[in-house]
Structures are given as C-alpha cells and as structure tokens.
Amino acid sequence: MSYFLGIDVSTTATKALVIDAQGAVASAASTEYAFETPRPQWSEQDPALWWRGARESIRKALAGADIPGREIAAIGLTGQMHGLVLLDAAGRVLRPAILWNDQRTAAECDEIARRTGRAELIARTGNDALAGFTAPKILWVRRHEPAVYEQVRQALLPKDYVRFRLTGDYATDRAGAAGTLLLDVRKRDWSDEILARLDIPRAWLPPTHEGPDVTGVVSAEAAEATGLRAGTPVVAGGGDQSAQAVGVGAVREGVVALTLGTSGVAFASADQPFVDPDGRLHAFCHAAPNTWHLMGVMLSAAGSLRWYRDALFPNASWDELLAPAQDVRPGAQGLFFLPYLTGERTPHADPMARGAFAGLTVRHESKHMTRAVLEGVAFGLRDIFELMRSAGLTSIEQVRISGGGARSPLWRQILADVLETELVTVNTTEGAAFGAALLAGTGAGAWGDVREACDATVRIAGATPCDPETAKRYRPCYRAYRGLYPALRDSFRAIADL
C-alpha cells in the first residue's frame, strides 16, 4: 500500500503527517523548537532546528504508522512563508533566518516603493511592500550586513531549506514564492523587472514549480538521517496558507477557507488573479496549478481571545469563559472590541494599531466583554470579506472554517451571523500538513489533479447556518465598529510614540 508524507515547517514546530492512498491519516508527529527575538521587532530562527525537527518527526511518524520508509511514495512540503534563509556557494547558512513576523524592515519597504513605484509593484506582485515579506529582508541584509551579503549565492524560504537538506536541490513552489514580493503573480514566475529595480540577482532564487510538481528525490544522506527511501520523490508543495486551503478543499472559485487560529485568515480561490489596486489584500498563486487566491490576514483572531482569558481569567476553562456570553444579546449592549493587539495587516496595514474596548459602561459585566471580543474578531473578518467583494470576488458560495477558534459553536454562530453566510466544517483537521500530503499524492499519480484529490478525501462534516434576524441586528453594529479605527488611528500613533 502506498503512503504519502506531508511535512509542515512552522514557526514553533516541524510536523510530519502520513496518509494512505484513501486520504486517511495513519500517523502524525511534531517536534517543537523556539525562535529568537534578539532585538525589539526582530524574529529569527536557526534553520538547523527545522532540519532536526524534520528528521525527528519523520522517524516518529513512520514509527507511528508502523511502516518502513520505503512505503512512502512521495513527500510534500509546506511551512511558514516570507522568511529569508541565505546560503553561500557551498550551501552553508550565512546567518539566522529572518522570519515572517520580523518587523525591522520599514525603511526597506519605503525603498522598495520608491524603486519600483507602488502601483507597479502591486500590479506585478499582487502585494504592497510590507515588513513581513522576503524582499525587504534581502535589502536589509545588504544595508546592515554587507559582509554577509557579499557571500550570498542562494536565498530560500524556510521549507525550501528542508527541501535542500532532503534532496540537495534548490526549488520552491509558486504559492510560497508569491509571498516574497519578487514573483509576477500573473506570469507565475520571478519578475525580472522587480528584481532589476531592486538589484537582486535572479541566480539567487530557486526555480519555481506548481504544487504537485516533483522537484527532486530524497538523497542517500537524507535517507540515512530520516529512515526514508533514497529516491523518494519530493513535490513542490505550497506555503502554509495555500496548503491549508488544499487540506480543507478550498481549491475552486467560490469556496473560501476561513482559518480561526492565532491569526485569522480568509482565503478565496480564484481562476484568475484578483489584485486589489490598493494592496490591502494579498494576491498570491495557489498551490493548485494555474489557480490563484485572494487572502486577507487578521493578526490577532483567536489570539485575541487567548490574551483576554490569560490576562483577566487565567484559571478559567474555555467553556467557563464562553458559556456566560451565550446569554448576551448580539451587540454586547453597545460594547465593542478592536482586535489590533499586535497591530493589523488587513484591512489596515498598520503596525501602530492597538487593541481597545469602546463603549464601556457600569452596566457591562465580564460576559459582555467576552461577547465583545468574539464579535470584534468577527467584525474584523467581515472587513476582509468586504474587501474581497470590492476587489471583484463576488461569488462566495461556501465558507469552510477551521482552526482552534472554530471549535466553539458560539463563535461559529456569531461569525455566520456577522458574515451573513453559512459556515461549514470538514472532516480533516490536520491543516497544512494534510494539504502537503495531498499534493504529494497528486504528484505521485494517486489522483489526477488537486481538485480530484480534495474531492476524494475532504467531506463536509457540519454546518452553521446564518440566522437572518440576528444578521439584521448585527448590521448597525458592524457600521459602528468600522468607524472606530479611523477615529482612533491618530491616537494609536500618539500612544505608540509614548
């Protein structure tokens, strides 16, 4: 029997997931590690941690499935996007990787906008210059670490460093590459125009591939380190959000994947690139070949609820925290929560934005505050949906929700009512690693294409319909919420200056 392996190189752990030819999960294993913040707003990680995590997790996953490595027919990769790994001519790591959540590159983002022209940058890459992307990190190293920069011969994303250690080959997927700010999303390849204006050598960037494409095979050295069979094909895979979308079956236009994790992500598949001319949404290539996606990211979604509990009710279980909010009427008696605890990305690309409760009175109790947090996150996610519609993505037929926050029936109902759409859950809960394994199976020929793989393995497990009367009550609440950020923006900046 053939099995497929998905490897997810995240910020806090590397996960290995084994599925069989029917898409059933045979085993999963994870190896955790830390990242470093050597200065304020910096976020770095030693790439050796990912390779150690991959080795250990692969061996544990094989043992958990009780299969030898030769039973793995193909391997798919996914992981954190936007990070920068710099290698010299011998493939040695030159400095710790600069991660997606690093915020040191504000000056470099301004430089990119000047060099490229903001409108042209967005038109070609589908994105504005934000600190999290890869390109400004390269410019930062050039400016601040010239001795390192002179030695650079290859620039990789985190998961592609693990690919290099597995196969000895340099390669990347087009979904992940779209998050570098160096890919032409329409051409689905590196933008020679942007590279020239930023003076970044194209030779430093690996070849790009569609998600199911085979990019190399497991080397003899990697086979010995992992227990896999030498010669096992490794497919391109996808960035974590596109692989997550494959994992829940969001590979057709009209199907939106809504992830309610620490961050909140709305991911809409499309048969053509939808580029927001103002750059408020991300337009990326999908891991499914010749498919694109439009994406909005809220930085603190379920993270807002966790902060609220940990700060005010550290000994409460989630059920104890949420149960009283069930009895609070929609709108929390005029209390609003702005979920900008770590700044915001969509729709307000503002690292200075701050969280806030607005409308507090002596009538409000803790249950109203809890309800306001749940509703504030829902309103913020509706902001993303409204942007998607304004960008031209008018066909939203189904929203598939996943992530830790989606386990709450109350939160699912609030989201359905605020978004005014039915939310469905699916039978798969393994996220991006599962999507990477499906891409591996597709590349190995188990399924004809990615959509067929999803149709064969992903099924609707439950539904939360929108209540029309509650949705009607939420409309004026949402209008009031939308007025709060513009009213407070200058105050947020003044507070940040303090």
Residue 63: Cβ within 10 Å count: 12
Tokens of 51: 């390779």
Q: Give the Cα separation of 430 and 19 in Å (integer).
A: 11
Place of tokens 């926050």: 405
Q: Are 450 and 251 in contact (CB under 8 A)?
A: yes
**Closest by alpha carbon to 487, among 365, 382, 338?**
338
At 153, which amino acid appears?
A: R
- Four-residue CA torsion sign, 213, 217, 223, 225: negative
The secondary structure element, H or E, covering residue 135 is helix 134-144
Length in residues, the chain? 498
Tokens of 291: 């498919």
For residue 254, the SS3 value is coil
Q: Give the Cα separation of 443 and 72 in Å (integer).
A: 13
Residue 415: Cβ within 10 Å count: 27
Is position 240 annotated as part of the catalytic site?
Answer: yes
Q: Give the Cα separation of 295 and 7 in Å (integer).
A: 23
Q: Are 296 and 311 in contact (CB under 8 A)?
A: no
Determine phi and psi for 52, rounding to 5 degrees.
-65, -45
Active-site option among 20, 184, 213, 240? 240
**Residues labelled as active-site residues:** 240
